[in-house]
Amino acid sequence: MRHPGEVMSTEQSNVTTTYKVTGMSCGHCEGAISSELSGLDGVTEVRAVAATGLVTVVSTAELDDETVRAAVDEAGYELVGRA
């Protein structure tokens, strides 16, 4: 039962995970990885930075590491693991 003045939140909590990826060297690399990872169910945002090799993924739920690895492999790069 709602109490007077209670605010109902419809906002989902998101999960942010950062991964280390090898082989990225330019903006094209960042785009290729971002494109593949954006296609995964629940992914809402991807930030890939070639200079650091870090890829930050925001999703609606925890992602399976092997699913992320397969997407990174499909883009032509190698997932080292979580950063």
pLDDT value, residue 13:
87
Q: Is the model more confident about 8 or about 41?
A: 41
Burial of 13 (0-12, 13-18, 19+ CB in 10 A): exposed
Do residues 21 and 33 make contact, with C-beta atoms less than 8 angstroms apart? Answer: yes
Q: Residue 3: what pLDDT?
A: 52
pLDDT in tens, 16-59: 999 999 999 999 999 999 999 999 999 999 999 999 999 999 99
Beta carbons within 8 Å of 4's beta carbon, 6+ residues apart? none
> Does position 71 have pLDDT exceeding 60, yes or no?
yes
Q: How confident is the model at residue 4, as a pLDDT?
A: 55
Which pLDDT score, from 0 to 100, does residue 2 have?
47
Are 40 and 67 in contact by the 8 Å Cβ rule? The answer is yes
- Encoded amino acid at 26, one letter: C
Q: What domains are defined for the chain?
A: 15-82 (3.30.70.100)
